Amino acid sequence: MNSWIPLMLRHGYVLTFAILLAEAVGLPFPASIALVAAGAAIASHALGFPQVLLAAIYALLIGDSIQFWLGRKMGWSLLGFLCRLSLNPETCMLRSAESFYKRGKMTLIIAKFVPGVNTMAAPLAGSMKMRFHQFLLLDFAGSLLYTLTYLCVGFLSRDVLATVFNSFRVAGRAMEAVLLVAVIVYAVYRLVQFRKYRQYNVVPRIQVQELAARLASDQSHTVLIADVRSHGYYDVGAERIKGSIRIEPNNLDEETKSLAKNKEIYLYCT
């Protein structure tokens, strides 16, 4: 934090704009710390409040709008990609979408204060076809609240920043420890999963040409091609292999009831 203040004094407006824009497009930049430093610089009369506010709001609106249109263009595939890290991608997609649908407007206002949600809110709004002017209005409210909050913190705590910084360092160390434990737990979980399902690596594989030849032969009646992509990956206009059926991987008990055991089942995903 101490090193941020001299930087802010020298390149304040450009730095505020650049860091906030970077964070708004999803890069891991410390926007809140930059705003606190800018608030301290305003208190020292080194920067002007209206200029900092304008730079911050413009940066956030531009970055979030880019994310919004990216979400609009990519549809559900962006959410699908983000949910791949979760334990159950299908549930993650459905719950995220439903939750955002119910609380989307409020979420957009407070999203910037919550890491992770901040990254997902704008593209989700785009994916879910929120009207752009509505998004812009809500995002403006959220950006204003976020910017003013951290500027105020910096402005009011200029004299105690060193103390706060020390607290941040202690909190930061605790956070690092928690994060490290979380990463280890996740790695162990993945390892257990890997060992559990390693036996399925022996599932026979078939090349596309080989399968196409089989479909063209008199053995085609024994072939069943099954799409095992998650439902959530589908957008209107999505394609699949001609003649294939869907098997929902998270609902195998039900799905297998209608499957014939005398058929060869050829599975595919994206």
Partner 1 sequence: MLMERGFNTFVIVGGLTAWRKAGEPLESVPKDDLVKLPTFN
Provide the binding-site residues for partner 1, judged by CB under 8 A.
76, 93-94, 97-98, 101, 104, 125, 128-131, 134, 200, 203-209, 211-212, 225, 227, 229, 231-232, 234, 236-243, 246, 252, 256, 259, 261, 263-270
Q: Which is nearer to partner 1, 2 or 199 (CB)?
A: 199
Comparing C-alpha atoms, which of 71, 63, 66, 78 is closest to residue 127?
71
Comparing C-alpha atoms, which of 147, 39, 153, 113 is closest to residue 12?
39
Residue 73 CB, nearest distance to partner 1 (Å)? 15
Q: Which is nearer to partner 1, 2 or 209 (CB)?
A: 209
- Residue 257 burial (CB count, 10 A): 7
Residue 204 CB, nearest distance to partner 1 (Å)? 5
Alpha carbons within 13 angstroms on the beta-carbon side of residue 107 total: 20
Q: Which residues of 176-213 are buried (b: 16+ CB within 10 A; e: fewer)?
A: eeeeeeeeeeeeeeeeeeeeeeeeeeeeeeeeeeebee
Residue 83 CB, nearest distance to partner 1 (Å)? 12
Residue 27 CB, nearest distance to partner 1 (Å)? 27
Comparing C-alpha atoms, which of 118, 153, 160, 161 is closest to residue 139?
118
Q: Which is nearer to partner 1, 33 or 224 (CB)?
A: 224
Residue 150 CB, nearest distance to partner 1 (Å)? 29
Q: Which is nearer to partner 1, 170 or 203 (CB)?
A: 203
Residue 122 CB, nearest distance to partner 1 (Å)? 13
Q: Which is nearer to partner 1, 39 or 75 (CB)?
A: 75
| Residue type at position 60 | L
Cα–Cα distance measured from residue 196 to residue 2, given in angstroms and rounded to the nearest whole number: 50
Q: Which is nearer to partner 1, 172 or 243 (CB)?
A: 243
